[in-house]
Amino acid sequence: MPSFSLRALTTAAFLFTTTTTAFPLFPRETQWSFNLYPTQACNGTGELHAGSGSTGCRAHLDSVASAYTLNTVADGCRIEFYDNTMCDGNEISDLAGPMTTTQTCRVPNLQRRYASYQVTCEKIEV
């Protein structure tokens, strides 16, 4: 039975790869994800935020966020973190992009918490 599961997973991976490369006219969605943490040590259960493409201002965070770890940010995207709930551009606490180190605990500069975020992605023309 385990060989059947492995064979099914291999077949599914092969079909996905050939489908996405055989039809390059289908747009590939931009991906980003990060975890917010209630402590500045990034311990405990993180709150996952993930998506494709740009977002508006996201201020309905489930918990007070004192730190975050970045999982991934695709080329052409950036994540702006704010210490206010209105994504006020004058109060950016941190900025993450494709070159930002992943899986490193990051805390806001001189701020007490992250209260909102906004993701901006360029449209990728195929």
* Domain ranges for the chain: 28-121
What are the CA-CA distances from residue 117 to residues 17, 21, 88, 110 (Å)? 33, 33, 10, 17
| Among the listed residues 95, 91, 120, 118, the one whose alpha carbon sits nearest the alpha carbon of residue 106 | 95
CATH, range 28-121: 2.60.20
pTM (2 decimals)? 0.71
- Residue 103 identity: Q
Confidence of residue 44 (pLDDT cuts 50, 70, 90): confident
Arithmetic mean of pLDDT over the chain:
79
* Separation of alpha carbons 34 and 96, rounded Å: 10
Q: What is the pLDDT of residues 66-113, one digit of tens each?
A: 999 999 999 999 999 998 889 987 878 899 999 999 999 999 876 678
* Separation of alpha carbons 35 and 69, rounded Å: 5
